[in-house]
A = this chain, B = another copy of it.
Amino acid sequence: MTVSSIDQRVSLAVSTVIFALRPHPESGLMTLWLPLVRRIREPYEGMWALPGGPLEADEDLVASAQHTLERTTGLAPHYLEQLYAFGRVDRSPDDRVVSIVYWALVRQEEVARAVDGENVEWFVADDLPQLAFDHAQIVDYALARLRAKITYTPIAHAFLPPEFTLADLRAVHEAVLRTTLDPANFRRQALGTKTLVPTGTCLQGTSHRPPALFRFEAGAPSPAPEEHR
């Protein structure tokens, strides 16, 4: 395709921000990581970018994101939502590309099963190399959205197994928000949201006073119309 014909057109890509919790390499504290793909062609050859690709004409948006996830990590996370469409005219140097960005949150038990795709490497989300295109801005937006959303929605469950302790839940909040939270205050607030249901069982094989297990109350279905058909 010649440059002149590219100039007349808008291309559509689907990109993904994939967050998982892993220990920080220095502090050992749980922290947010995401996989990036090294670009093997211009523009930005050799630089790191969000996983993604052009939308195929016969592919739904969410299916495109799922394929990217599978190709990048070998995973099919439960939490996969549309984040935002990025479309600034100047965001790609040679052509006009609008990227519809999905974000995925990977459960802790899935992290160990992740298989890195070709040219894929995981990075600490708050300490990334320079990224291609406007992908640094996209990651900043995804981080801001995650950190806002965890304070008023039960999004933390996307990182947890179906049953978890209040300490597990607090650890997710602490990792995402990069802070320490008072256990008693956190417990009161978490139980106050009315989104937690005691399973009636306790974590086995731990102390003489094993912590209670909870699960999230199944809430209203996600209003996003196309992800969960």
Residues of B within 8 A of A225 (CB): 84, 86, 137-138, 140-141
- Report A's interface with B, CB cutoff 8 A: 7-12, 55-61, 82, 84-89, 96, 98, 100, 137-138, 140-141, 144-145, 148, 152, 223-226
- Which of B56, B58, B87, B145 is within 8 Å of A60, CB to CB? B87
CA–CA, A8 and B205, complex, Å: 58
- Which of B88, B137, B223, B226 is within 8 Å of A88, CB to CB? B226
Residue pair A10, B55 in contact (C-beta under 8 Å): yes
- A9: nearest chain-B partner, CB-CB: B57
CA–CA, A188 and B141, complex, Å: 34
Residues of B within 8 A of A84 (CB): 82, 224-225
Residue pair B87, A226 in contact (C-beta under 8 Å): yes
Nearest-neighbour CB distance to chain B for A87, whole angstroms, equals 4
Residue pair A85, B57 in contact (C-beta under 8 Å): no
Residues of B within 8 A of A85 (CB): 61, 82, 85, 100
CA–CA, A87 and B12, complex, Å: 11
- Which of B61, B137, B141 is within 8 Å of A98, CB to CB? B61
CA–CA, A148 and B86, complex, Å: 24
Nearest-neighbour CB distance to chain B for A52, whole angstroms, equals 14
Residue pair B226, A86 in contact (C-beta under 8 Å): yes
- A145: nearest chain-B partner, CB-CB: B223
- A6: nearest chain-B partner, CB-CB: B57
Residue pair A144, B98 in contact (C-beta under 8 Å): no
Residues of B within 8 A of A224 (CB): 84, 141
Residue pair A57, B7 in contact (C-beta under 8 Å): yes
Nearest-neighbour CB distance to chain B for A23, whole angstroms, equals 28
Q: A12-B12, A100-B98 are in contact. Are A60 and B82 (CB under 8 A)?
A: no
Residue pair B141, A57 in contact (C-beta under 8 Å): no
CA–CA, A148 and B12, complex, Å: 30
Residue pair B223, A98 in contact (C-beta under 8 Å): no
- A62: nearest chain-B partner, CB-CB: B87
